[in-house]
Chains A and B, each alone.
Chain A
Amino acid sequence: MKLYRISAFIERDMRKFFRSPALMVASMIFPLVQLIVLGYAFGGKIKGVRLAVVDDDHQAYSRQVIEKLQAIAAGPRTVSLVDYDSLPRAVSDLRTGIVRGVVLIPLGYSRRVQHDDNPRLVFIEDNTDQFLSSSLLGEMQLTVQQIDTPAIQPRLAQQVNLNVVEVYPYIDYIKYLLPGSIAMAIFVVAMIGGGITFIDDKARGLHEGYLVTPIARSELVLGLNLSGAIKGLMAGMVITGIGGLIAGIPRLWDPVRLGYLALVCGAAALTMIAFMFLTMVRVDDPLVPRAIFGVLNTLLFFPSGAIYPIQGFPKWLKWIAVVDPFYYTVHALRNLLLKSVGMAGIYKDLLVLLGMSAGLLAASTLLFKRQL
């Protein structure tokens, strides 16, 4: 294997890359738009959900419940309250979406509180929307808990208290999403550089010009993949910078962490480009990479844990995550960006990514056709 041939290929691709700003911009815009839109769409706290209150009791303790709910409406503003006279009307409005939950204070509630006779409140939820209903349920449970807490604490606490310690400052969803967007930027470069332009160059006949030179299969495969990896690394680091600023990652320019980030982006880029190259190694039709872009994007991005934890996946989807380079990339980037852990938090991901890329490159070299 001759290094000068590999470096000639890298030189060629770098010159082409910097000469086509369209490719660079395209590879960055998609992940950034995704980061901003998804980050703000999913990340916001839920506010102003219309909650129906049906008070059939109209006594002292029912007023206490309503005051607690009004406090939520005035404070965190998760809900806005709507009074209803009758339960059937409230439920009918719940079904048509005018209100998103109904709180019923049944007749005799205050009497039961006074007599310690299992007082009950009823919460009717619209469970077609998991996000809304779980957020309302959370508020309702908090309200009930506050009502249960005696005003004067007993001297000997008998209840078990759970003390929650948050290791990191509050993480917005947009910060949580950033590692996925960086991985996506690398993937787009791999897709365009490793998939689309590779097949187009083949179709345009440019490859024929290289096949008649003494270049070896392994040199061609390595040259194309390494140049792709450098492009992916650059895209990843640019999105780390821009996305980090947008998401508000603290101490973004810490040089040591930037070094680790570059390591992860480089390994991820090599793996993704090698994956794409292997997928395309025997393809001639320029439509194929364009056609499967959406499929690969969905298949690699969503199971990676970038937008939802993989612990919630069914088994088959977890298996996709295990072989998905996105998964290791997102995991390592999250450790670096959100938790500021160093090599200890990324070395396993790095090893997996490098192992994967070695395997993919070996397979590509075997399958690459040195002749037409």
Chain B
Amino acid sequence: MSAIEVHELKKMFGAFTAVNGVSFTVEDGEIFGLLGPNGAGKTTLIRMLTTLTPPTAGTASVAGHDIVQDADGVRKSMGVIPQAQTSDPELTAEENMVIHAKLYGVPAPVRQELMERLLASVGLEKFRHELVRTFSGGMRRRLEIARGLMHSPKILFLDEPTTGLDPVSRTNVWEMIERLRDQQKLTILLTTHYMDEADKLCDRVAIVDHGDLKALDSPARLKQSIPGHDAVDAEFENAPSGWAEALRGLAEVADVKAHDGVFRLSSHNGPRTIAALMELARESGVVVRRMSVENTTLDDVFLYYTGRGLRDEVGGRRYDVSHLYRH
């Protein structure tokens, strides 16, 4: 039995299809990423799996519990860190943890020991008696991740764990997620719209767009799956006519695009293409003014599978009252 099994899961809001019948499985101990722009359906998908929204059609199970028939079973076996900051700013870190554990009926001795261990593992043990409203965004997120583990779940859902965090906090959260997976043998499903996050953290990545699952594999294999996975950019002093065609004939080159005097070569092997290009330039008496090579990123993969980049989110009714609670 896999940790998470999703079969033809679908969600409609009126006539709008947010999730269009997706299927995948997440294996035990895996970090699985749902990668997509805002509005792709990631949050709706995670909300269905975490019993916050009922699906329109299809089935899914979490730790063997059906998300509709046995929602309580799902709730008991998972930890969820929603996108919204759900820790209570008017409580201390410790109180947030303890009250959460009480909701799961974690016995008092276990609670105390677990809380200390988890606060230490997210690096907040020094701040346990501080009110959460004094915390930075990154500290709050780490506290929420620790809180989500207070009932020792085997599966953890993280909805955009680093959105809105500064680069240092992001790195902290990444390290923490990896450490938790290794130490606690957790299965983690996370959503993100950051390509680097998916690349760095996830064993497997599902690319989601317009409610559809466009591709699913490990980051490395996803990058290999698209034609020309390195990009070589070059500018020349005196490129002759037909130069693009000449470049197209070079070793490992899949495609050549020219724009404003910059030639972009899609290559299956960057270094070999560069060597061939230098050779050709020397033979033809063409002077290379500038040259650079970029490895394929998940951005390229994303662009390839969806045909476009990020876009703004529409919908999502949330009122912002945070200004009322700023201290």
Contact = CB atoms under 8 A, between A and B. Distances in A.
Interface of A: 2, 4-5, 7-8, 11-12, 15-16, 19-20, 200, 203-215, 284-286, 371-372
Interface string B86-119: 1110110001000110111100000000000000
Given A16-B88, A203-B321, A212 B50 contact: yes
A203 B318 contact: yes
A335 to B, nearest CB: 38
Contacts of B54: 371
By size class, the interface of chain B is 35 or more
Contact of A209 (B82, B318, B319): B82
Given A205-B83, A212-B50, 10 more contacts: A4-B105, A16-B91, A19-B90, A206-B84, A206-B86, A208-B86, A209-B87, A209-B147, A213-B104, A214-B103
Contacts of A205: 82-86, 318
A212 B51 CA distance: 7
B103 A5 contact: yes
7 contacts: A2-B105, A200-B321, A204-B84, A206-B87, A209-B87, A210-B86, A214-B72
Contact of B325 (A204, A210, A212, A285): A204
B14 to A, nearest CB: 16
B324 interface: yes
Contact of A15 (B80, B91, B320, B322): B91
B102 A11 contact: yes
B9 to A, nearest CB: 15
B317 interface: yes
B308 interface: no
Contacts of B75: 212-214
Given A15-B95, A16-B88, A212-B82, A204 B321 contact: yes
B319 A8 contact: no
B320 to A, nearest CB: 7
B76 interface: yes
A212 B131 CA distance: 23
Contacts of A286: 319, 321, 324
Contacts of B83: 205
Contacts of B102: 4-5, 7-8, 11
A9 to B, nearest CB: 8
Contacts of A20: 90
Contacts of A15: 90-91, 95
A5 B90 CA distance: 19
Given A5-B102, A16-B90, A19-B90, A285 B52 contact: no
Nearest to A200: B321
A208 B100 CA distance: 13
Contacts of B76: 214
Contacts of A215: 103
A5 B106 CA distance: 11
Given A214-B104, A286-B319, A12 B88 contact: yes
B78 to A, nearest CB: 8
A36 to B, nearest CB: 30
Binding site of A, secondary structure by majority: helix, strand, loop or mixed?
helix
- What does DSSP make chain B's interface, helix, strand, loop or mixed? loop
Interface string B304-327: 000000000000011111101100
B170 interface: no
A206 B80 CA distance: 13
A23 to B, nearest CB: 10
Interface in B59-90: 72, 75-76, 78, 80, 82-88, 90
Nearest to B105: A4
B47 interface: yes
B53 interface: yes
A8 B52 contact: no
Contact of B88 (A5, A206, A211): A206
Nearest to A7: B102
Contacts of A211: 52
Contacts of A16: 88, 90-91
Contact of B103 (A8, A19, A371, A372): A8
Contacts of B317: 284
Interface string B179-205: 000000000000000000000000000
Nearest to A12: B99
Interface in B130-151: 131, 144, 147
A371 B52 contact: yes
Most buried by B among A16, A200, A286, A372: A372
Nearest to A372: B52
Nearest to B77: A214
**CB-CB nearest 3 A-B residue pairs:** A205-B84, A209-B86, A8-B102
Interface string B142-163: 0010010000000000000000
Given A4-B105, A205-B318, A371 B51 contact: yes
B197 to A, nearest CB: 21
A212 B80 contact: yes
B84 A208 contact: yes
A210 B82 CA distance: 11
A213 B100 contact: yes
A212 B52 contact: yes
A205 B316 CA distance: 12
B324 A200 contact: yes
Nearest to A203: B319
Contacts of B87: 206, 209
